[in-house]
Structure 1
Amino acid sequence: MYLVGLTGGIATGKSSVAAIFREHGIPVIDADLIARKVVEPGKPAWYKIQKEFGPDVFLDTKYLDRTKLGDLIFNDVEKRKKLNAITHPDIYKEIYWQTIKYLLQGYPFIVLDLPLLFETGHMLNYLHKIIVVTCEEDLQLQRLMERSGFTEAKAKVRIAAQMSLEKKAEMANFVIENSGSESDTREQTIKVINVLRCSKHHWKLRFLVGFCCTILVAGTYWLKNRSSRSLSSTA
């Protein structure tokens, strides 16, 4: 099994592309969804955020007030780094566990939906291919304002906090341009899926894993026999 990274800018339509992958039976590990789970009340990251940022970033329900926390960290780089240091270890730990689960289920490849793939750089060395979802800048701004109810100024701050779409596209293996119709985006995504399904890379990885397992089993068997012969000669 090999890993495919899916990323893009905020409000470029990455979730729509991820949904098309799921429709075609391809597992998608959603880092945003995991990020919400690791900060639920009572989780270790929840306590750490409370200690670091205080009670003002929580709702009466004890859940995180994502709007308040977002305003806080997007206007302060150091606070954003502190939040990432709290949440990222738990997020990546869950990503690894889910990846192992899909590996054992025999999927040829899975998609990791990672909004901050290039910004953090954490998973880059593990990915065989990278897909970047882009759209026109004006459309991105409009979508974010409509989706989140942000003012234009606040929306621009959120967009500016991420790497530019142009730079991300330069580092991608596939670029899906999501400024057009839904059918156009679907068509582009299906083309990428077909290319990924034709890849034989997962067989190379399966062979490597199988070879390593064979060496491990053979080594264990050899050590066991050696120990048995040593005990027999001593007796």
Structure 2
Amino acid sequence: MLIALTGGIASGKSTVAQRFSELGAVVVDADRVAREVVEPGEPALARIAEEFGPSVIDSDGRLDRARMAELIFADPDARERLNRIVHPAVGERSRALFAAAQEADPSAVVVYDVPLLIDQQGNGRTDEFDRVVVVAVDDDVRLHRLVELRGLDEDEARRRITSQATEAQRLAIADHVIDAGDTLDYTLEQVDALWSRLRESTPD
């Protein structure tokens, strides 16, 4: 079974992914994969340098993430150009990891922790997944978490929230919703209950 797990920035998605891992899921982290596909020597990094110029590559030959972030958060066109390079590479690498997990254990539940599911799947196309789980939190709560817990200024926090899909867009593709706007215990209880339901529907 292949599960897509998504949610906006500061939604608590990482906490939910960790819980799934503790319960026995194989978790593939799209953000980690995205970092791997732009390492020195990877084709995606060469294409980024060609598209955006040498200023986005640091003195060690690595992607200058701070400079890249400045470009894409200020310019939606730049963000789209970057996505056209990175998303296909992430998808290809992730699918290889899914296949490896299935080969190792045909009854495995694989959870794809992917914040930009709608962007990466093209308008919310989720056909390759058996279930889509959305971690849902009001924007005001996410804003508070970004400012108070992560130290972002309010304008930057708002930009990061609005640069992603809306909560309504995520909920529109959800098969299951985890409400992570309350206590941690309540969030984990929902994950545990959902895990039981998923295992019941997975053949041995």
TM-score normalized with structure 2 length:
0.90
Q: In structure 2, what is the Cα distance between the partners aligned to 1:147 and 1:58?
A: 30
**Structure number with higher helix proportion:** 1
Q: Give aligned-pair identity as a percent.
A: 37
Map of 1:109 onto structure 2: 109
Map of 2:201 onto structure 1: 199
Pairing 1:80–2:82 present: no
Tell me: CA distance 1:146–1:50, structure 2 relative to 1, closer, same or farther (3 Å): farther
Tell me: CA distance 1:150–1:64, structure 2 relative to 1, closer, same or farther (3 Å): farther
Moved more, 189-198 or 81-90: 81-90
Map of 1:143 onto structure 2: 145
Map of 2:37 onto structure 1: 38
Q: In structure 1, what is the Cα distance between the partners aligned to 2:42 and 2:172?
A: 38
Q: In structure 2, what is the Cα distance between the partners aligned to 1:61 and 1:141?
A: 34
Q: In structure 2, what is the Cα distance between the partners aligned to 1:64 and 1:12?
A: 26
Pairing 1:55–2:60 present: no
| Aligned-pair CA distance for 1:148 | 4.8
Q: 1:135-214 maps to which residues of 2 (within 5 A)?
A: 135-146=137-148, 148-200=150-202, 202=203
| Aligned-pair CA distance for 1:146 | 4.4
State the secondary structure of the residue aligned to 2:19.
helix
Q: In structure 2, what is the Cα distance between the partners aligned to 1:170 and 1:82?
A: 26
Q: In structure 2, what is the Cα distance between the partners aligned to 1:29 and 1:98?
A: 7
Unaligned runs of at least 5 residues, structure 2: none
Deviations 1:184-218 (A, max 9, x none): 11111111101100104x57xxxxxxxxxxxxxxx
Higher Cα Rg, which structure = 1
Aligned residues: 201
Quick one: which amino acid aligns to residue 140 of structure 1?
R
Map of 1:119 onto structure 2: 119
| Aligned-pair CA distance for 1:173 | 1.2
Q: In structure 1, what is the Cα distance between the partners aligned to 2:199 and 2:84?
A: 36
Does the Cα contact within 8 Å between 2:6 and 2:135 map onto a contact in 1? yes
Quick one: which amino acid aligns to residue 92 of structure 2?
K
Does the Cα contact within 8 Å between 2:87 and 2:120 map onto a contact in 1? no
Q: In structure 2, what is the Cα distance between the partners aligned to 1:44 and 1:179?
A: 39
Map of 2:14 onto structure 1: 15
Q: In structure 2, what is the Cα distance between the partners aligned to 1:148 and 1:46?
A: 28
Q: In structure 1, what is the Cα distance between the partners aligned to 2:147 and 2:54?
A: 27
Q: In structure 1, what is the Cα distance between the partners aligned to 2:134 and 2:120?
A: 15
TM-score normalized with structure 1 length:
0.79
State the secondary structure of the residue aligned to 1:126.
coil
Map of 2:70 onto structure 1: 71
Quick one: which amino acid aligns to residue 142 of structure 1?
H
Q: In structure 2, what is the Cα distance between the partners aligned to 1:189 and 1:50?
A: 41
Q: In structure 2, what is the Cα distance between the partners aligned to 1:35 and 1:15?
A: 16
